[in-house]
Amino acid sequence: MRVGLTGGIGAGKSTVSALLAERGAVVIDYDRLARDVVDPGTPALAEIAARFGDGVITADGALDRPALGAIVFGDPQALGDLNAITHPAIRELGAARERAAGPDAIVVHDNPLLVEMRAAASCDVVIVVDVPVDVQVERLMSNRGMSEADARARIAAQASREKRTGAADLVIDNTGPEDELARAVGGLWDELVSRAAARSVPGEG
Ligand code: ATP
């Protein structure tokens, strides 16, 4: 069963993923995939160099993220071109990891851009980890040392909270403390197991 997991920056996706993995889910981390697809020698990195020039490649053949970031920041056309190169590669790698997990696995696609990449529609279940913006800002400041302005700018660059929760089948509220989240994820896991069982009954999928 394909489960999409998303949420705004710092909302608690990694925390929820780790709790689901403890229960038996196979978690695919899309932050990791996004790095893997542009490793030295990959087709996507070659396409990026062809589009943006050798100035975005370091002396040892790796992606120069700050250089690329400076080009695409505030340039929607350039960002669109970059996404057109990386997103298909990320999708393919995610699909390959899912196939490797086998047909009976509950596979969690932990993807901060699930909504932005329009990947929600292909999931059997979409889970959104949700917190009010002010809680998100406060956590980004206290846990990651961001300034309030930086935290708000990063949140503003993502899909809105409303757009994300609008795509959700299940919303996990992470406003409370982490032990409350752990309890909620216990209930979530039971729900996923029962949905997976219902899908595997012939004629009910
Ligand atoms: P990112 O979008 O940056 O990948 P994320 O959505 O994966 O973030 P986490 O890394 O799970 O979020 O959580 C962000 C930070 O907030 C972590 O330091 C985590 O320990 C902390 N955190 C998560 N849930 C809570 C909570 N309920 N109360 C307080 N802190 C929390």
Tell me, using a 6 A CB cutoff, whether residue 164 lines ligand 1.
no
Q: How far is the CA of 16 from the centre of ligand 1 (A)?
A: 9
**130: which 2 tokens?**
């949700």
Structure confidence by residue, pLDDT tens digits, 164-186: 999 999 999 999 999 999 999 99
The pLDDT assigned to 4 comes to 98
pLDDT the model gives residue 201:
77
> pTM of the entire structure?
0.93
Q: Percent of the chain at pLDDT above 90?
A: 93
135-144 pLDDT tens trace: 999 999 999 9
pLDDT at 106: 98
Q: Which atom of ligand 1 is nearest to the CA of 7?
A: 6
Q: Which of 142, 108, 119 is nearest to 29 (CA)?
A: 108
Q: Which atom of ligand 1 has the smallest separation from the CA of 18?
A: 11
Q: Is 17 annotated as a binding residue?
A: no
Q: What is the mean pLDDT of the chain?
A: 95
Pocket test for ligand 1, best of 139, 141, 164 (most atoms within 8 A of CB): 139
Tell me, what's the pLDDT at 1? 96
Q: What is the mean pLDDT of residues 73-95?
A: 95
List helix spans (H) across 53-160: 65-72, 76-101, 133-144, 148-156
**ipTM value:** 0.97
Instruction: Tell me what the mean pLDDT of segment 26-41 comes to.
Output: 97
- Long-range own/partner contacts, residues 55-63 (CB < 8 A, 24 or more apart): 63/38
pLDDT for position 27: 98
Residue 26, token pair as written in the block: 């196979």
Tell me, rounded to whole angstroms, the distance of Cα 138 from its chain centroid: 21
Contact of 129 with 13, CB cutoff 8 Å: yes
Strands 26-29 and 170-173: unpaired
CA 166 centroid distance within chain: 16
Nearest CA to ligand 1 atom 18: 143
Q: Measure the CA angle with vertex 171, ends 169 and 177; round to 5°.
A: 160
Q: pLDDT at residue 204 above 60?
A: no
pLDDT at residue 203 tops 70: no
Closest ligand 1 atom to 16 CA: 11
